[in-house]
Amino acid sequence: MTAPFSPRNRKVRVLATLGPASNTPEMIRKLYVAGADAFRINMSHGSHEGHARVIAAIRELEKELGRAMTILVDLQGPKLRVGRFAGGSVMLETGKPFLLDRDKAPGDENRVNLPHPEIFEALEPGTRLLLDDGKLCLRVQSVAKDRIETLVETGGKLSDNKGLNVPDVIVPMAALTEKDRKDLSFALEQGADWIALSFVQRAEDVAEARRLIGGKAALLAKIEKPSAIERLDGILELADAVMVARGDLGVELPPEAVPPLQKRIVESARRLGRPVVVATQMLESMITAPTPTRAEVSDVANAIYDGADAVMLSAESAAGAWPVESVAMMNKIATAVESDPGYAERIHFTETLPDPTTADALAEASGNIAATVSAAAIICFTMSGSTARRVARERPSVPLMTLTPQLSTARRLGLLWGVHAVHTRDVGSFEEMVAKAKRIALRHGMAKAGDRVILMAGVPFGTPGSTNVLHVVRLSGDELKGHR
């Protein structure tokens, strides 16, 4: 039997994207050892066969370590692109007119095909169109059924099939394309724990994805469009978690608008008890360099001080030259921030008021009691993970261990701040719960003989969402005798 998994010495989670630089079993193991708590698979790249091999490797590592591993599958979402040019690219001159039309003929410096009829219906004069990750900007002058006349506000080189962003209006497009639906079916068949939904514009996009997922995985909504910011509360109500996807958000909004929006999204998610991931360009320079810039370190630290549940690596771990070093650096930054005496005060700057329920009242009380009696840990028994989410929302000062008979629950909790999830057999009585909690706390190094721990559960057992017991116990050290 594998030795018990030791908890991390930090509470924020590290989400590492896997790709060509890191998708072998050996590299996945190295990333985990370096500090990765969860793994992201980006469906914008690669094949189903390749992704299936990566998922199988993660599950093999899970068996080897006896530790529930978290897999997030990120759907590509609708990608808007212009057509092709006769010469492969053109130079658009600032101040000159440029036409987007339905003609499939190769484009030139005056026009190009736009193969997205839904955009023609959504635009109006004055709307901005951003090309090639925001490097070029067109201003709509007039719109007809098959042509959009624009003026080039920011010119430059435009090549075949470059991306198009429409920041000023809601485009009447489903958040799930046909490719996304196939990728979603694949991800659910493979047992993905989280599904990330890209380019969410409204709560209805989340509702549609939830219907298709059917409870087989948790749903994370990526906030990367201005329209999603305007409808943030509705999206948060329906999503299981959110991601501050700063890449496209920074394309469609001025760069200086992104930091305050990041803080707003993190704060809103924390108030509702939704896990929140901060992503994109966090250690960007480590794609090619073995160390980050000081500004990047400060950026990661800021997200952790704000109380984000997880920080994410994208190309740094997926395609960069230093994937293991990137994860290790993220781990070092998180550990340093959480060692700061001022960290606890900063993460409690966001007020998280409990709902008027027994479960929320006990979750809020657990942190206060832990501090008062100097408890070593809070231990939650849960079926669905809701108790752990409630406690984690309060950002307690002590470690949080979650015991669950549901392997799927243990896996999903890997994105949650401070949670050390353990998959274990169910219990049938209060006494059995207490004995098991003591044994596992000692075995996993969450507490030692003489320590107090706080137990939370719902009685009768096996009823999701019924947390109604908070119990303080002291460990004697004898709990492990006769047990393996």
Residue 1 belongs to a domain:
no
Residue 481 belongs to a domain:
no
256 and 309 fall within a common domain: yes
| Residue 51, number of CB atoms within 10 A of its CB | 23
Q: Which of 306, 340, 374 is the last residue of a domain?
A: 340
Residue 348 belongs to a domain:
no
188 and 59 fall within a common domain: yes
142 and 196 fall within a common domain: no
| Residue 398, number of CB atoms within 10 A of its CB | 19
| Three-class DSSP labels, 115-143 | CCHHHHHHCCCCCEEEECCCCEEEEEEEE
Residue 373 belongs to a domain:
yes
Return the CATH number at 382.
Answer: 3.40.1380.20
pTM attached to this predicted model: 0.91
Q: Classify the C-alpha dihedral 404-221-32-334 as positive or negative.
A: negative
402 and 315 fall within a common domain: no
| Three-class DSSP labels, 191-243 | CCCEEEECCCCCHHHHHHHHHHHCCCCEEEEEECCHHHHHCHHHHHHHCCEEE
DSSP one-letter string for 403-454:
EES-HHHHHHGGGSTTEEEEE----SSHHHHHHHHHHHHHHTTS--TT-EEE
Contacts of residue 94, defined as CB under 8 A and 6 or more positions apart, other chains included, come to 152, 153, 154, 155
Number of domains in the chain: 3
Tell me the sheet residues that pair with 457.
Answer: 469
Residue 2 belongs to a domain:
no
Tell me the residue range of the domain where 32 lies: 13-77+175-340
Q: Which of 305, 340, 375 is the last residue of a domain?
A: 340
Q: Report the SS3 class of residue 17.
A: strand
pLDDT for the residue 70: 98
292 and 416 fall within a common domain: no
pLDDT for the residue 5: 58
236 and 328 fall within a common domain: yes
Reference 308, options 264, 340, 341, 342; nearest CA is: 264
Q: Rounded to whole angstroms, how far apart are CA atoms 454 and 399?
A: 11
Residue 286 belongs to a domain:
yes
pLDDT for the residue 4: 45
Are the beta carbons of 406 and 433 closer than 8 angstroms? Answer: no
pLDDT mean values, one per 10 residues, the chain (484 residues)? 64 98 97 97 96 98 95 94 94 96 95 93 93 94 95 96 90 88 98 96 95 97 93 96 93 92 96 95 97 98 97 97 98 97 90 83 91 94 92 93 96 96 90 92 91 89 75 82 52
247 and 305 fall within a common domain: yes
326 and 459 fall within a common domain: no
Return the CATH number at 158.
Answer: 2.40.33.10
147 and 230 fall within a common domain: no
Q: Which of 109, 139, 165 is the last residue of a domain?
A: 165
Q: Rounded to whole angstroms, how far apart are CA atoms 165 and 134?
A: 8
157 and 182 fall within a common domain: no
Return the CATH number at 205.
Answer: 3.20.20.60
pLDDT for the residue 3: 43
34 and 179 fall within a common domain: yes
pLDDT for the residue 479: 67
Residues that are catalytic: 40, 81, 222, 280
Residue 334 belongs to a domain:
yes
300 and 449 fall within a common domain: no
Strand bridging mode 156-159 / 89-92: antiparallel
Residue 484 belongs to a domain:
no
Reference 418, options 440, 437, 441, 395; nearest CA is: 395
